[in-house]
Structure 1
């Protein structure tokens, strides 16, 4: 399934990771997902694009040595106008930390956070359209915001990106699907006091794998950690893991749709 087309505004179109040791991180994800790497763009500093069969799937950059920023995967949401989206984020109670910033002819980017503090990016596509392939092991499968409760933050994302909000009809689970048009593109998951105190609200990127148990074992072999072991639910078999620098993500063998 190719994703190399212009994404509808609000659709997650890219994921990026900023780390301290770029070389070691490439070794980890190359070993886990079979990624190869290509440099660029230079405007983002030391930065590489991860490839599967020469198709771009994600980006990894080096953190400035004098900045104590967290190491975390960040999803980018597509925008037709990064400047207008940045203004909408500010007016809706969010914070714009970086940008809009031109990345040569690739496009324009914004790094921001929602009112709960969860960090995400905005990408206005030009030459770089974002993740070029999906549905295969080693590609982003889903993005989910983990937060205390979904009501207020759902209104923020609806206002900024025009999502349709589809709450799950359950008294036990606070889960809202974000839909761009009629397509589910991401979710909000209210976990109450189960939200980690050391992380706060945050976006979680899920990556497809061929076998969740094998991939979890490979994570530990490569120097990472398994934080929640493989388990089954309606989405498939998934595990929560962290890379050697502590970036948390989910690996999943998605259930057939």
Structure 2
């Protein structure tokens, strides 16, 4: 993980738009919408409002009145993994979806309109990691960052960073990507700002998950948040540890959706 980078524009401004390639939204598809809302409301202090009806049962999570994430409900007949999915901004989701296909990825959902909010697609890279593409209209994406309860970073865990680096560079136009000299890590940048990372872990990749994106949420106190996760029925997957970027831990909500917590350095 490296330092988090937000939108290239002023988040929260009415006319703000995320630069193409920037993670602009995170969304969770769960089986039990009510129970999932209760978990994240207690953990992050989120409140909720209904989202676009085209997405089925779906709510947007708000913090201090600002939209920070989305949670939808899977239909009972769809036995899909429960997971957080990052969405990358695009000026033309149809063109981006076609580039995904041409570069060896797949598009599983869309492109489709989400009312007047925008247009989306959900796909996967050649290794199978799932991500979304968002072309904002009335809804530009996350409008609050940098405070506890908001997305702070998105990171792809895969077999080898170099094997998918070119895919993301071509699809989203990342420039000046930077490889770490210490371990297999690539930082994706937009307009000079770090926006996401790719971490190659080889055989250490969990067999039951495969390549996957992980969203980091900022918290005021990682250890206190871990205790709350456990009390609310979640699980601690990787205990808190200190890193150069803060105190980090990985957890799962009661349905098994994995995400990470990060408390910035003091």
TM-score (norm 1): 0.97
1:248 to 212, 235, 258: 258
1:26-61 per-residue CA deviation (whole Å, 9 max, x = no partner) reads: 000000000000011111000000000110000000
SS of 2:82's equivalent in the other structure is coil
Query: What aligned pairs does 1:74-153 form with structure 2 within 5 A after superposition?
Result: 74-153=85-164
Rounded to whole Å, the distance in 2 between the matches of 1:192 and 1:252 is: 24
**Aligned residue-pair number:** 254
1:120-173 per-residue CA deviation (whole Å, 9 max, x = no partner) reads: 000001000000000000000000000010112000000111112110122xx1
Structure 1 unaligned residues grouped into runs of 5+: none
Query: What aligned pairs does 1:5-20 form with structure 2 within 5 A after superposition?
Result: 5-20=16-31
State the partner residue of 2:178: 166
Rounded to whole Å, the distance in 2 between the matches of 1:180 and 1:255 is: 24
Rounded to whole Å, the distance in 2 between the matches of 1:56 and 1:95 is: 29
SS of 1:220's equivalent in the other structure is helix
Rounded to whole Å, the distance in 2 between the matches of 1:235 and 1:19 is: 30
1:60-84 per-residue CA deviation (whole Å, 9 max, x = no partner) reads: 0000111111100000000000000
Q: Does 1:177 align with 2:193?
A: no
State the partner residue of 2:32: 21
4+ residue runs of structure 1 moved beyond 2 angstroms?
none
Rounded to whole Å, the distance in 2 between the matches of 1:169 and 1:27 is: 42
State the partner residue of 1:3: 11
State the partner residue of 1:186: 196
Rounded to whole Å, the distance in 1 between the matches of 2:130 and 2:85 is: 7
Rounded to whole Å, the distance in 2 between the matches of 1:215 and 1:238 is: 11
1:255 Cα deviation after fit = 2.5
1:198 to 196, 208, 211: 208
1:219 to 226, 229, 235: 229
1:88-136 per-residue CA deviation (whole Å, 9 max, x = no partner) reads: 0000000000111100110000000000000000000100000000000
SS of 1:123's equivalent in the other structure is strand
Structure 2 unaligned residues grouped into runs of 5+: 1-5
SS of 1:101's equivalent in the other structure is strand
Q: Does 1:35 align with 2:43?
A: no
